[in-house]
């Protein structure tokens, strides 16, 4: 790598395809996917569905579309979904549940994005014409704003149990499910078994340039396919993109452990700096959140950008750093040094 390049820790979405991935994409066999004629998309959808133990899958341009398709497919306008207050679906998807599905989000106060079965049960109201019907419970694993937090499997089972007893559907925003699986050793299929639908992303830690998938039953995906077209997500010769995702699944999943190790190293280094508040024990995967007490977060982010390290301010004092295949272990050492100098400079 070029030593003069920026150390980009803004997100794992900044990953770029490797030369081998580009070659696979260039060689992809393609067809019109809206007509159901793209063989590479078909291979990807079958591969992901099999990995997650679901009957069918649908390739989508983005994780946001996959999640919003899940909400629309599980619900009808006027319904309600239960979701953590800081979940991607409710926080970062531009009001999609209301705008695209006509549903309201009843937000739960989880701890680092993880709520309990009791939280779900408490939020449920008796059938009454004054209340929207609750239809869906959404979890996010790993949880972005929770700092890459992994949902404990036992907690997932408890929430799924109460959901089933109450006749609710379960959706998993698994954009970073690959990270949870690598970190815990629990197969993605075992996580997915607790849910009626699961979305997964190929363009974050896996490093594909574009794409996510929504998985579920055959009937569910058939219904979702119509909404994908309605939302503008029907693609034509999408096999070029699907080939990148297939390559990522085959070659980039296990290396996510490197991202986790780099995030821990970064967190350990930052935690030692004066003016930084960070509990490194909370770093479970590839996302590091920390607070700065000596200046506004935006000021520190600006100083870091000028010095060649890119992070994101997440509030007046909060900053997020995310590791990916675009950075190295040496970069973590350099980043800590640069943060230290930026904290000390006038």
Cα 60 from Cα 68, distance rounded (Å): 11
pLDDT of residue 335: 98
Q: Are the beta carbons of 243 and 59 closer than 8 angstroms?
A: no
What would the mean pLDDT of 314-336 be, rounded to a whole number? 97
Q: In this predicted model, what pLDDT tens digit does every residue of 190-242 receive, in sequence order?
A: 999 999 999 999 999 999 999 999 999 999 999 999 999 999 999 999 999 99
pLDDT of residue 344: 87
Q: In this predicted model, what pLDDT tens digit does every residue of 153-180 receive, in sequence order?
A: 999 999 999 999 999 999 999 999 999 9
Q: Is the peptide bond before 131 cis (omega within 30 degrees of 0)?
A: no
pLDDT of residue 2: 44
> All domains of the chain, ordered by start, with CATH?
19-251 (3.40.640.10), 255-344 (3.90.1150.10)
pLDDT of residue 40: 98
Is this prediction's pTM over 0.75? Answer: yes
What confidence category does residue 3 fall into, taking pLDDT thresholds of 50, 70 and 90? low
What confidence category does residue 5 fall into, taking pLDDT thresholds of 50, 70 and 90? confident
What would the mean pLDDT of 260-267 be, rounded to a whole number? 98
**Statement: residue 284 has pLDDT above 80:** yes
Q: For the chain, what is the mean pLDDT?
A: 96
Q: Are the beta carbons of 59 and 239 closer than 8 angstroms?
A: no
Based on the number of CB atoms within 10 Å of its own CB, is 28 exposed (0-12), middle (13-18) or buried (19 or more)?
Answer: buried
**Statement: residue 100 has pLDDT above 70:** yes
Q: What percent of the chain has pLDDT over 70?
A: 98
Cα 281 from Cα 169, distance rounded (Å): 33
Within 10 angstroms of residue 230's Cβ, the number of other Cβ atoms is 12
């Amino acid at each position: 790598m070029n030593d003069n390049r920026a150390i980009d820790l803004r997100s794992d979405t900044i990953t770029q395809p490797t030369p081998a991935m580009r070659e696979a994409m260039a060689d992809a066999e393609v067809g019109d996917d809206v007509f159901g004629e793209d063989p590479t998309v078909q291979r990807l959808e079958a591969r992901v569905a099999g990995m997650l133990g679901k009957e069918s899958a649908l390739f989508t341009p983005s994780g946001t579309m996959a999640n919003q398709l899940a909400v629309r497919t599980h619900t009808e306008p006027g319904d309600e979904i239960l979701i953590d207050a800081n979940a991607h679906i409710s926080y970062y998807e531009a009001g999609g549940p209301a705008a695209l599905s006509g549903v309201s989000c009843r937000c739960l106060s989880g701890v680092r994005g993880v709520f309990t079965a009791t939280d779900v049960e408490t939020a449920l109201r008796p059938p009454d014409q004054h209340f929207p019907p609750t239809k869906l419970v959404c979890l996010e694993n790993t949880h972005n704003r929770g700092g890459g937090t992994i949902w404990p499997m036992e907690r997932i089972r408890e929430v799924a149990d109460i959901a089933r007893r109450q006749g609710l559907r379960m959706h998993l925003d698994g954009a970073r499910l690959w990270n949870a699986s690598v970190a815990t050793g629990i197969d993605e299929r075992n996580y997915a078994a607790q849910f009626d639908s699961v979305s997964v992303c190929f363009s974050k830690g896996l490093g594909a340039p574009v794409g996510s998938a929504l998985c579920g039953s055959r009937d569910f995906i058939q219904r979702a396919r119509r909404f994908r077209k309605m939302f503008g997500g029907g693609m034509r010769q999408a096999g070029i993109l699907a080939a990148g995702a297939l390559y990522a699944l085959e070659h980039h999943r296990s290396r996510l452990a490197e991202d986790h190790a780099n995030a821990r190293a970064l967190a350990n280094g930052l935690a030692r700096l004066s003016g930084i508040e960070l509990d490194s024990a909370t770093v479970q995967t590839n996302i590091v959140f920390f607070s700065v007490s000596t200046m506004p977060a935006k000021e520190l982010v600006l100083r870091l950008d000028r010095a060649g390290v890119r992070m994101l301010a997440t509030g007046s004092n909060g900053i997020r750093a995310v590791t990916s295949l675009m950075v190295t272990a040496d970069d973590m050492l350099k980043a800590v040094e640069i943060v230290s100098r930026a904290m000390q400079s006038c």
